[in-house]
Structure 1
Amino acid sequence: MQQARTEHPLSLRLPDVDLSLIDRAANIQGCSRTQFMRNAAIQAATQTILEQSLVVMSHEGFAAFQASIDAEPQISPAIAALRQHKAPWDKP
């Protein structure tokens, strides 16, 4: 019994300048050209799908969503305390 193929080869024709850019970016991320291109393609595909996704909610859900956007922002005590400290580069 033969096992179903789980990976499929993909071939691209790229100019040297594009390949050089991709190799440089892959090197910065510490991965292979293949890994880099796969990650970039998956990220672009996911983003495209998310941008085209329709969000459906009830009138009540949308009203609650809009109310949370319109509400005055609440600053947590921990964040408020952090805002009281000066950044190290602002100290004399």
Structure 2
Amino acid sequence: MRIREDMRILIDRAAKLRGKTRSDFMIDAAYRAAEDTLLDQTLIKVDAQSYRHYLDILDEPPSGEGFARLMNVPKPWQD
């Protein structure tokens, strides 16, 4: 594979830190990228009634004890 020298140096440094060869490091990285790409494309099919129920839930304003507690936590930027 042809690669710019600065990229090769960076990849070699990272591979060395992981105790891998450049090829093994690149194969692992490509494999993870392929998995992520495929997982991002997952399609979930539901019937119209289930989808409508899902949209209804999303349209409801947040509420409940957990939400109230979250909203009352001190904000770091308001110290």
Distance 2:24 2:37 in 1: 20
Residue 48 of structure 1 aligns with an amino acid whose one-letter code is T
Runs of 4+ residues deviating >4 angstroms: 24-27, 33-36
* C-alpha RMSD of the superposition: 3.0
Residue 61 of structure 2 aligns with an amino acid whose one-letter code is E
Say which structure is richer in helix. Answer: 2
- Aligned sequence identity (%): 29
**Relative contact order higher in (CA < 8 Å, ≥ 6 apart):** 2
TM-score (norm 1): 0.53
Q: 1:80 to 1:48 in 2, by over 3 A?
A: same
What is the match of residue 79 of structure 1? 70
What is the match of residue 65 of structure 1? 54
Q: 1:86 to 1:21 in 2, by over 3 A?
A: same
Structure 1 gap ranges (5+): 1-11
Deviations 1:39-73 (A, max 9, x none): 42122112221343332111122112212221212
Deviations 1:16-57 (A, max 9, x none): 222123234456xx4234564344212211222134333211
Distance 1:15 1:46 in 2: 26
Aligned length: 75
